[in-house]
A and B are shown apart, each in its own frame.
Chain A
Amino acid sequence: MRIVGILVALAGWLVPLVALSMTQSTGARFGACVLGIIISLVGILGVLNGVHQADAIWKKG
């Protein structure tokens, strides 16, 4: 799952980059940036942090 989290974070970064070539519209590029940032945050704070929280030191009894 760690690798999945990293891949999702990287995928989010690629979204606005790909959008640069697909559209000239500033609005569309803005939307792609916001979408990409959200995807990256899901990968980091959702997936990756979830892996670490599942194995957190304070949960061990």
Chain B
Amino acid sequence: MKFWKRRNRCLWMAIAILLVCSLAAFATPETAPPAVPAAQAAPAAVPPTPAPAVAPPAMDVPLDTKAAAAPSVDELAKGDPSGTKIGTVSDVIAADSKKGLTLADLVNQAGQNRIAINFVWTLITGFLVMFMQAGFAVVETGLTRAKNANHTMMMNFMVYGFGLFAYWVCGFAIQMGSAGPYSTLGGGAGLTGEYTINLFGKPFGLWGTHGFFMTHGGAYDVAAMVMFLFQMVFMDTALTIVTGTCAERWKYLAFAVSSVFMGALTYPLFANWAWGGGWLSQLGTNFGLGHGYADFAGSGVVHSVGGVTALALGMMIGPRIGKYTRRGKPNAIPGHDITWVLTGCFILAFGWFGFNPGSTLAASGNGALRISSVAVNTMLAGCTGSFGAILYMWIRYGKPDASMSGNGLLAGLVAITAPSGFVNTIGAAIIGSVAGVLVCLSVEFFDRVIKVDDPVGAISVHGANGLWGVISVGLFADGTSNYGGSWNGVNGGVTGLFYGDPGQLVAQLIGVGTLIGFVFSLSYVSGWIIDIIIGQRVPAADELAGLDIPEMGALCYPEFVLKPEPEMEPAMAAGD
């Protein structure tokens, strides 16, 4: 008992020291520079020095390239072990080989290089995000029972295909059909169609109308293809969140139809409002609310959409047999492989370096060098998230719970996703630590009070912390970001309440209200229709047997002897 008290005292002291350090860092009299619109960057009081009148250089005159000292063919034939001979003026392509290299060729090469850097950056970060599907698959499978492992794995595997197909058919068009041209990728000029209504005397963009099947309305374009790949893997992340909450009792056909619907409509609609030029992004220009709804990498667009959809379906499908006693007391149903869970968390944390820094859609120009800050914020919030969760569990239950530590890491990452491009490291650390505690409280709330069974804690990790991430932009954004001088058409960097712009917090809250009120309702109604037509839940006998054989036709672990179900109250064992 004494030991327990002493340990608790130590933990509380550690928390207190951390809080004091955070407050001290905040109290440092360092004033954030006011957001300066790019157009007003020059101080008005100082008269501009007149530039000397120099005639602009002719663009089409051949250049004297002798000073560049390109290596000769003989030198190159010897090989280049030090890597200093290649990548010179001889690698710049002249438009007219007879005329030779001109200034126009160099300028065009510089433009091509910038776009190429941004293409490669966005594609590679997109590939990282795609690999997060593997992380989700093993986290969810590890947190469910061995008798459902094939079913859970197959949901996570096929959600990629179902979602991709729906997004290719119409999802991308609805989301990004009016987002062109892209300032960082240099193309997409044909994607300019948005269905808009007038409300309160202002235009409200509702959905895009160009880009169906990636061929219509100028979508057959190399920059649009980059955008499609990057946005598709984000969409798929949202879809796979739902499979965790509904695991171990979701009918596979219902899952398939639900995923197609979500990839085709639910996700793209909200994503258009936030990222595709829709009405949420225009709250700044139309109503003077900060920079409009700002969600850098998708705490709201990706994670909250997935989280509230998971809540809608989890509520509808109901808890697993045996999760609650007849008196409503929750039983713990441990997952079958904590190794998978924590390995999956690491895979996800790795993929998050694509998720957040990649959301600049650039590594060159437009303030994109901030990718380093975004990456550090991401890393830091994940760390403080797991730290917050482990401390909470250690103090409350006396053990540093493994699965909740993993969920704390993910919660921190989810929460920092929206603000990662707008906040400093102190803000990121606070956002992550709050997320780590919030995920524990939220899991208990949904488990014990609301009684929505969520085997992997996805509603709390992605839903609750996604909403927290959206709100945190309105609190912690420090106004120093400058992605091309403006965000959502409003000059200057996104600035939250703590740095002087309460309007940004209101814009974020309107986004939160839309996620809870609209996205939840749309998900619930679509899920209800699927429930009526197909049925969402498997029969009780199948659930008790495990879904691997009844739903998938094969066991995940055929050579293992699975432990029989623990004895449950008679009513529970009978199911419905």
Query: Residues of A with Cβ closer than 8 Å to B?
Result: 2, 6, 9-17, 20-21, 24, 26-27, 29-30, 33-34, 36-37, 40-41, 43-45, 48-49, 52-53, 56-61
Instruction: List 7 interface pairs A-B (beta carbons < 8 Å), by A numbering.
Output: A6-B521, A21-B200, A21-B201, A34-B509, A41-B516, A57-B321, A58-B319
Q: How far is the CB of B294 from chain A (nearest CB, A)?
A: 15
Interface of B is mostly: helix
Q: How far is the CB of B450 from chain A (nearest CB, A)?
A: 6
CA of A33 to CA of B471, assembled, Å: 12
B506 at the interface (CB under 8 A from A): yes
CB of B517 within 8 A of CB of A20, answer: no
Chain A residues near B525 (CB, 8 Å)? 6
B518 at the interface (CB under 8 A from A): yes
B565 at the interface (CB under 8 A from A): no
B128 at the interface (CB under 8 A from A): no
Q: How far is the CB of B538 from chain A (nearest CB, A)?
A: 12
Chain B residues near A36 (CB, 8 Å)? 513, 517
CB of A60 within 8 A of CB of B328, answer: no
CB of B450 within 8 A of CB of A45, answer: yes
CA of A32 to CA of B572, assembled, Å: 44
Chain A residues near B509 (CB, 8 Å)? 16, 30, 33-34, 37
Q: How far is the CB of A21 from chain B (nearest CB, A)?
A: 4
Task: Report B328-342 residues with CB < 8 Å from chain A CB.
Answer: 328
Chain B residues near A58 (CB, 8 Å)? 319, 323-326, 328, 571-572
Known: A13-B521, A52-B316. 12 other contacts (CB 8 A): A6-B524, A9-B517, A10-B517, A10-B518, A37-B512, A37-B516, A40-B517, A48-B524, A52-B315, A58-B325, A59-B328, A60-B576
Q: How far is the CB of A54 from chain B (nearest CB, A)?
A: 11
Chain A residues near B571 (CB, 8 Å)? 58, 60-61
CA of A58 to CA of B200, assembled, Å: 48
Chain B residues near A60 (CB, 8 Å)? 571, 574, 576
Chain B residues near A56 (CB, 8 Å)? 318-319, 324, 451
CB of A30 within 8 A of CB of B328, answer: no
Decide: A49 near B200, CB < 8 A? Known: A29-B506, A33-B506, A56-B324: no
CA of A59 to CA of B324, assembled, Å: 9
Interface of A is mostly: helix
CB of A33 within 8 A of CB of B328, answer: no
CA of A59 to CA of B509, assembled, Å: 37
Q: How far is the CB of B314 from chain A (nearest CB, A)?
A: 10
Partner of B513, one of A2, A24, A40: A40
Task: Report B497-549 residues with CB < 8 Å from chain A CB.
Answer: 502-503, 505-506, 509-510, 512-514, 516-518, 520-521, 524-525, 528
B287 at the interface (CB under 8 A from A): yes
Q: Which residue in chain A gives the minimum CB-CB distance to B518?
A: A13
B297 at the interface (CB under 8 A from A): no
Q: Which residue in chain A gives the minimum CB-CB distance to B572?
A: A58
Chain B residues near A45 (CB, 8 Å)? 450
Decide: A30 near B326, CB < 8 A? Known: A37-B512, A44-B311, A60-B576: no
Chain B residues near A53 (CB, 8 Å)? 451
Decide: A13 near B289, CB < 8 A? Known: A33-B509, A56-B319: no
CA of A11 to CA of B513, assembled, Å: 10
CA of A2 to CA of B200, assembled, Å: 30
Chain B residues near A16 (CB, 8 Å)? 509-510, 513
Closest 7 CB pairs of A and B: A13-B517, A21-B200, A33-B509, A58-B324, A40-B517, A61-B571, A40-B516
CA of A45 to CA of B328, assembled, Å: 17
CA of A20 to CA of B202, assembled, Å: 11
Chain A residues near B224 (CB, 8 Å)? none
Q: Which residue in chain B gives the minimum CB-CB distance to A52?
A: B315
Chain B residues near A27 (CB, 8 Å)? 502
Q: How far is the CB of A45 from chain B (nearest CB, A)?
A: 6
Would you give the 0/1 interface string for B191-218, flagging 1 where the beta carbon is closer than 8 Å to chain A? 0000000011100000000000000000
CA of A37 to CA of B311, assembled, Å: 16
Chain B residues near A21 (CB, 8 Å)? 199-201
Q: How far is the CB of A39 from chain B (nearest CB, A)?
A: 8
CA of A26 to CA of B510, assembled, Å: 12
Listed residue (B201, B318, B575) with the most chain A CB atoms within 10 angstroms of its CB: B318
CB of A26 within 8 A of CB of B503, answer: yes
Q: Which residue in chain A gives the minimum CB-CB distance to B525?
A: A6
Partner of A12, one of B315, B323, B513: B513
Q: Which residue in chain B gives the minimum CB-CB distance to A13?
A: B517
Chain B residues near A2 (CB, 8 Å)? 528
Q: How far is the CB of B524 from chain A (nearest CB, A)?
A: 6
Chain A residues near B326 (CB, 8 Å)? 58-59, 61
Q: How far is the CB of B400 from chain A (nearest CB, A)?
A: 30
Q: Which residue in chain A gives the minimum CB-CB distance to B516?
A: A40
Chain B residues near A24 (CB, 8 Å)? 288
Chain B residues near A37 (CB, 8 Å)? 509, 512-513, 516-517
Q: How far is the CB of A35 from chain B (nearest CB, A)?
A: 9
Q: Which residue in chain A gives the minimum CB-CB distance to B204?
A: A17
CB of B315 within 8 A of CB of A26, answer: no
CB of A49 within 8 A of CB of B325, answer: no
CA of A46 to CA of B112, assembled, Å: 56
Chain A residues near B524 (CB, 8 Å)? 6, 48
CA of A35 to CA of B328, assembled, Å: 31
Chain A residues near B502 (CB, 8 Å)? 26-27, 30
Q: How far is the CB of A30 from chain B (nearest CB, A)?
A: 5
CB of B318 within 8 A of CB of A52, answer: yes
Chain B residues near A30 (CB, 8 Å)? 502, 505-506, 509
